Structure 1
Amino acid sequence: MGHAQATPEEMNPQELTSRRGFLGGMGSAALAALAAGAPPVDDSSLDLLEDPTRPETRRAQIRRIRSYQLRQQAALNEFKRGIFPKRTNGDEERYPHRIGNYSKGLPHNELGEVDPNAYDAMLRALATGRFEDFEALPLGGRLKLTNPLGGLTYDLVGPDAAAVRLGTPPALASPEAAAQVAELYWMALCRDIPFTDYASDPTIAAAIEDLKRYSGYLGPKPITPQTIFRMDSPGVLEGPMVSQFLLRPWTYDGIPIEPRLQVPLPVTTGEGIDFLTSYDEWLAAQRGFPEGTAITPPRMDPVLRYIHDLRSLGQNAGVDLHYTPYLRAALILLSLGDAALSDRNPYKASRTQSGFASFGPSHLLQLLGCLTRLSHHGFYGKWYIHRYLRPDAFGGRVHNRRRGAADYPIHPELLESPVLERIQAYNELVNKRRGLNDGQGSFLLPVMMPIGSPTDPSHPGGHGYTAGSRSALLKAWFKEDFVIPNPVKPNRDGTGLEPYVPGVDGPPLTVAGELNKLAHNTAMGRDAYGIHYRNDDLDGFRLGEDVLIRFLQEERPTYPESVFQGFAFTRLDGTLVEL
C-alpha cells in the first residue's frame, strides 16, 4: 500500500485536480526549472518601483527579494523531498465487514458492524475530498464526524500533511493489538489505585504478571510497579509518575494557578461510574447515539485534586486543549530565568542584548502556537491512510467473540487473559450502580468519556503528535540537564503535595526528563481515559518530532543572529538531533 512518490493513480481526485491546476498554471519553463531544482522566477523579474537612491528604500528592496527567496527555497526544499511511504495494516481489505476500521457514527447492525453501503459512501467522500459528499453521508445518530477534511488542508509553513512518515498500527489479529488492548483493560481496572500504592497493590501485581505474557507488549521492560503504564523515554521511568509541569503552580498573566482539577468519582471505592459497560450503550455509541438514546454525564468529585491516579491523569488529558499543558510548561520554564535556557540561545551570554521577538518569550510562544498545524498531518493519517478503529470498538469485538456472537480473529493471548473475567466483574459493578444491562457484566472496555471515544479514527493519537512536537521544541529551547528546583509529588489522595527529595525519593528531576514525562502524561492519559492505544502515542510522538524538525530547518535561515549555532534536542527515543 506504500509508495515513495505519489503517481497520478495514487492521488485522491481532489489532490490530483488541485495539484494539476497549480503546476499547469506555472507554465512549462517554470515547471521545468522547478523540476531541475532551480528557482522558477528569477529575482530580476521582480518589479522594483521604489526609488533606489534612498537608503531605506534600498534596504526594503533587498529584504523584499530576500524574503521571496527564503519562501521560494523553503517550498522547493519540501517539494524535492517527495512523499514519504505510508503503509496500512491491511485490515480494510482483509475484512469486508470492516471490523478492523473506524466507522463510529455511521449506521451499524446489532453486532456493531458498519453498514457496508455507508462505509463505502465514506470512502467515496474521502476520495473526492468534497464537502458536499460528506454532507450526504448517512449518519446513524446525533454525533457528527470530526473534521475529515482537516487532513487535506495545505500548509504554507513546514511539510505538507502527505509528505511525512507515519507508522502503521497493529492489525486486529496481531499479538501487538492483543497486548495494547489488554493494557487498556488493566488501566481501566487500575484507574482508582493511587500511584503511591503501586508497589503493594494486588491488582497492580496481577496486571504486571498478565502483561508479561504478551509477545507484542510495547511498554518498558522489565514490567515493575515503577515501570507499568509508563514509557521508555529518558527520565520517564524515574521519580513520580506525574510530571512537575502538571503539579507545580504557575502564573498566567499575573494570575496564580493551582493545578488541581475536578475528577470523576472513583468506581471501586466510591459512587463513580464509567461508560460503555453495557452492550446497549456500547451499540448506541457506535451508531452515534440515535434519537432516544441517552448520553449520561459523569459523576464528579466535589473535591479538587492533584493528579494522583490514572483516573485523574485521564481526566486531565480528557479536558485539556492539546496545546495548554505545553503552554503551562513554557511559562514555568521561563519563570526559572536565563539559567534554564539552552546554551545555544544567542542572547543567553550577550552583554548588551536580550531576546524577545527572536529567541525570547514571544518567539517561543509563537512557535508553540504554530505547531497547532500538526493536526493537519495527524488528520491526514487518521482519515486518509489508516482509519483505525478506536479502543471502545475493539472492546466490542472482544465482547462479541467471548459471548459467541461472532468469530472475530482476536489473538488468543487476549482471549485467554484473566483480565477479561476481572473486567466482567468490574462492569457488573458499574451496571448495577447505573441500572443497566439487568445488572449483568460484559467484556466491553470501560471508558471515561460519556460518548465512548471521539468521532475520528484512532491512529495517530492527537495528544501523541502534540506531545512529540511541543516537548521537542521546549527541549530545544531550554537546557535539558537543568535540574528542576523544589520538586514535589502528590500525596495519596491528591489533596495536597509533598516534597520530592532527590537522593531519597529518586534521582534529581531534569527539564528533559520532566518534559518527556509530560509527553507521557498527556498521551498515555488518553489511554487511561480509554480512547487511545500505546501505539497511537508512540507513532504520534515520532510524527510530531519529525514535523518539528522540518519546521525548525525551514525557520533556521530566517534568523538574523549570526552567532546562533542551531537547535539541538533529544528525541523521546533517546536519539540526539542537531539542526
Structure 2
Amino acid sequence: MRERHKDSLSRVSASGHLPRPPGEEVDPRASRRGFLGGLGGIALGALGEGADSPLGDCCDPPGPPAALEAIRAEARRYRALLLRHQAAVDEFTLGTFPKETNGDEARYPERIGNYSKGLPHNDLGEVDPEAYDALLCALASGRWEDFEAIPLGGRLRLTNPLGGLTYDLIGPDAAAVPLDPPPALASAEAAAQMAELYWMALCRDIPFTDYPTDPTIAAAIDDLRRYSGYRGPRPITPQTIFRIDSPGTLEGPMVSQFLLQPWTFDGIGITSRLQVPLPVTTGDGIDFLTSYEEWLAAQRGFPVGTTISPPRMDPVPRHIHDLRALGQHAGADVHFSSYLRAALILLSYGDQALSERNPYRSSRTQTGFASFGASHLLTLMGCLTRASHHGFYGKWYVDRYLRPDAFGGRVHNRRRGAADYPIHEELLGSPVLDRIHAYNRLVNRRRGLNGGAGSYLLPVMIPIGSPTDPSYPAGHGYTAGSRASLLKAWFNEDFVLPSPVKPNRDGTALEPYVPGVDGPPLTVAGEINKLAHNTSMGRDAYGVHYRADDLAGFHLGEELAIRTLREERPTYAESVFEGFVFTRFDGTVVEL
C-alpha cells in the first residue's frame, strides 16, 4: 500500500494530472451490488459527483462492515487527493500580487525611514550602513547562516526574520496576498498617525467615562482635525477619537463586551480584570524611552552595561477603563487569546447565537462536534495562526517599516536641530510636541533621567521600546482580521448580546450598559469589530504600532480567512450547508 501511494504521488508530480481511479469505466450510477467487484466506479462517483456516501442510500447494505469500510476508504482516498490538488491549483491560479514599497529605503541612504532596531547605530540613532547591508543580504538569500552573521548592537535579538518564508499547506502562500505600501516618512499620513500616537500617550490615564468633558481630549480633537492625512473616523468627537470606523465600533463603550464580560475556561470562572501599570499623570507611574540616552540604547538593542527598567504596577486589578489598561492588555495577550475568549463567551449562549447557516442550529436529531461544533471552531482558529507567516513576510521581505519609537527619535532630532529630517510640517507645527516635551520632563524627573529635561520622543509603555521586528503590518492587526472574520462567519452577526456592561470610572467594577439609554443594542458583529479595534489599536496605545499597521493587518487577515474558508467549504459532508457569509470591516458582505 505504501508503494502504491508513493507511485500515485509521483504520477501527479510528473504529469500534472491526477491518477485515474482503477475501473474508471464502471458507471458510477449502476446498482450497488454491481459495485462489489469494482471499487473504481465508486471512487469515480465520489470524485465526479461529490457524493455524501459512495454507497448510495442505506436501504440495501452492500455487504459486511469490513467490505463497506474498504469501499468507502478507497473512494475517500481519491476524493481527498482531488480536493487537495484542486485547492492547490486554485491558489496557484490566483497568482501573486505585486507589492510596491513606499520608496523610503531607496530614497534615504541613511535608512531613516526603515526598521533597524537591534543593529549598531550612531549617536543620531541612524543605522550602521554595513550592518543594514548585512541584513539585506540575509533577507535576499534566506540562509540561516547569513542571518547569524548580522552584527548586532546589543542584547536584543531580531524576531523571526525567517518566519515569513514558511510554506503553508492550507490557504494562500505568504507571498501571495496583497499588501499596500505604508505611508512614507515625509507624508501627511505619517505625520497624522504619529500625532495620534503622541496624543494617545498624553491621554493614557484619562478614563473613557471622562472623554466628553476632559480638556486634553478636547485639545487632541482640535489638533487631529487639522491633519490632511488623518485616516480615523470623521467627524472626530469624544465618541469617535482613537477608534476605527467599522460597523458597531463607534457605538457604545470603547471596550468590547468580550474584554469585559466574565468567562469560563475549562470550568474555571474568570473575571476580566488585569494588573495595569500605575498612571503617570495622576500617580507614581512611569513610561519608557522618554530620555534620549534610553531611547538610543533601545535602538542599539541595549548594549551590555545599559539597564532595562521594570514598570511600576498598580496592585489593584482593574477592568479596561482607559488607554493605559487597553495598552497593557494588548501588550500582555497572546495575539489570539482574546478571540478564544470571545468564542467561548459566544458558545455559552447556545444555538441562538450561531449563524443561521450552521447546519446543526435547527437540526431535529443531530448536533455538531467534529464538524460545526466548538471543536471545529477552535481548530479553525488555531489553523489561522499561519497569519504570522504572511505578516512576517510583509514585515521583513517587503517594507521593513520603522517603528513609532524610532520615528519619535527622528522628530526629536529634527526639533532640537541635530538633523534635517523630512518630517511633515503639520506635525512639526503641532501643539502636541510641546505637551509631549513637558510630559517627558515629568517622567524623566521621576526616574532621575536626562537631568530631568524633557524630549520630543514618543513615551511608550514597554521597557525595551518596540519589539525587534518591523512595524508593518501589525501582528495584532492580521490576528484581528483573520479571527474576527471567522467569528463573524460562525455566529449570527445580528444577535444582540445579553446583559451588556461598561467599566466604572476607575475600572474597579462593571456597571450595566442600558440599551436605549447608554446607546444602541450591542450586536455580535459590532462587538467583534470592536474587539479587533481594541486588540490592534491597544498596541498603538502601548506605543509600538501605527493606525496604518492595524488597517493593513485587518485586510491581510481577512484575505487569509476568506481563502482558507473557501478551501474548507467543499470538505464538509453536511449537504444542507450553504457556505459561510460574513461582513468585512469595511461593511461589504463576503459569501463563500
**What is the SS of the residue equivalent to 1:148?**
coil
Within the candidate set 182, 191, 194, 1:181 is matched to 194
CA contact (8 A) 1:51 1:57 kept: no
Counting only pairs closer than 5 Å after superposition, residues 271-282 of structure 1 correspond to structure 2 as 271-282=284-295
Secondary structure in structure 2 of the residue aligned to 1:489: strand
Counterpart for residue 449 of structure 2:
436
**Structure 1 residues 393 and 363, CA gap change in structure 2 (3 angstroms):** same
CA contact (8 A) 2:18 2:82 kept: no
Deviations 1:103-159 (A, max 9, x none): 000000000000000000000000000111111110000000000000000000111
Tell me how far 1:40 sits from its aligned partner: 5.2
- The structure having more radius of gyration, on CA atoms, is 2
User: For 1:560-571, what aligned pairs fall within 5 Å after superposition?
Assistant: 560-571=573-584
C-alpha distance in 2, partners of 1:107/1:116? 9
Q: Distance in 2 between matches of 1:40 and 1:334?
A: 41
Whether 1:364 and 2:381 are equivalent positions in the alignment is no
- Distance in 1 of aligned mates of 2:389 and 2:508: 39
Partner of 1:7: none
- Structure 2 matches for 1:205-244, cutoff 5 A? 205-244=218-257
> Letter of the aligned partner of 2:523 in structure 1?
T
| Residue matched to 2:299 | 286
Give, as a single letter, the amino acid of the residue that structure 2 aligns with 1:136: A
Matched residues in 1 for 2:553 and 2:500: separation? 29
Corresponding residue to 1:148 among 161, 176, 182: 161
Q: Which residue of 1 aligns with 2:468?
A: 455
Residue identity opposite 2:189 in structure 1: E
Mapping 1:104-115, distance limit 5 Å: 104-115=117-128
Q: How does 1:475-490 map to 2 (within 5 A)?
A: 475-490=488-503
- Counterparts of 1:350-389 in structure 2 under 5 Å? 350-389=363-402
Matched-pair contact (CA < 8 Å) for 1:92–1:101: yes
Structure 1 residue 55, shift from structure 2 partner: 2.5
Q: Structure 2 counterpart of 1:285, which letter?
A: A
Helix, strand or coil for the counterpart of 2:85?
A: helix
Check the 8 A contact 2:276/2:314 in 1, yes or no: yes
Q: Deviations over 1:315-344 (max 9, x none)?
A: 000000001000000000000110000000
1:435 partner amino acid: G
Does residue 390 of structure 1 match 2:403? yes
2:395 & 2:361 partners in 1: Cα distance? 41
Could you say what secondary structure the match of 2:162 adopts?
Answer: helix
Matches of 1:550 and 1:43, distance apart in 2: 29
Shift of 1:59: 1.0
Q: Which of 538, 545, 553 is residue 551 of structure 2 equivalent to?
A: 538
Q: Is the 8 A contact 1:219 1:232 kept in 2?
A: yes
- How far is the alpha carbon of 1:44 from its aligned partner? 5.0
Q: In the alignment, which residue of structure 1 is the partner of 2:184?
A: 171
Q: CA deviation at 1:167?
A: 1.9
* Helix, strand or coil at the partner of 1:162: coil
TM-score, normalized by length of structure 1? 0.93
Question: Could you tell me whether the CA contact under 8 Å between 2:278 and 2:312 is conserved in 1?
Answer: yes
Report the secondary structure of 1:498's partner residue. strand
Q: CA–CA distance in 2 between the matches of 1:153 and 1:187? A: 35
Q: SS of the counterpart of 1:163?
A: coil
1:468 corresponds to 2:481: yes
Question: How far is the alpha carbon of 1:31 from its aligned partner?
Answer: 7.2
> Residue 42 of structure 1: CA displacement?
4.1
Matched, 1:248 2:261: yes
Q: Could you tell me which residue of structure 1 aligns to residue 59 of structure 2?
A: none
Aligned-pair identity in percent equals 77
Contact 2:391 2:473 in 1 (8 A): yes
> Match for 1:491: what amino acid?
N
Residue type of the alignment partner of 1:188: A
Instruction: Give 1:93's aligned amino acid.
Output: A
Q: Where in structure 2 are there 5+ consecutive unaligned residues?
A: 1-8, 25-36, 40-62
- Given residue 253 of structure 1, which amino acid in structure 2 is its aligned partner? D
User: What do residues 27-67 of structure 1 show as CA deviations (whole Å, max 9, x unaligned)?
Assistant: 9x967964xxxx35444599xxx995922211110011111
Q: Distance between the aligned counterparts of 1:81 and 1:477, measured in 2?
A: 26
Cα RMSD (Å): 1.5
2:428 to 396, 415, 425: 415
CA 97–40 in structure 1, closer or farther in 2 if over 3 Å, else same: farther
1:78 and 2:91 correspond = yes
Secondary structure in 2 matching 1:233 = coil
Gaps (5+ residues) in structure 1? Answer: 1-25
Q: TM-score, normalised by structure 2?
A: 0.91
2:433 is matched by which residue type in structure 1? Answer: L
Distance 2:19 2:475 in 1: 38
Rounded Cα–Cα distance in structure 2 between residues aligned with 1:474 and 1:440: 48
Partner of 1:158 in structure 2? 171
Q: Which amino acid aligns with 2:265?
A: Y
Distance 1:380 1:359 in 2: 32
The residue that corresponds to 2:418 in the other structure is 405
Q: Secondary structure of the equivalent of 2:562?
A: helix
Aligned residues: 546
SS of corresponding position for 1:353: coil
Secondary structure of 1:88's counterpart equals: coil
Q: SS in structure 2 opposite 1:577?
A: strand
Aligned to 1:126: 139
Distance in 2 of aligned mates of 1:533 and 1:40 = 47
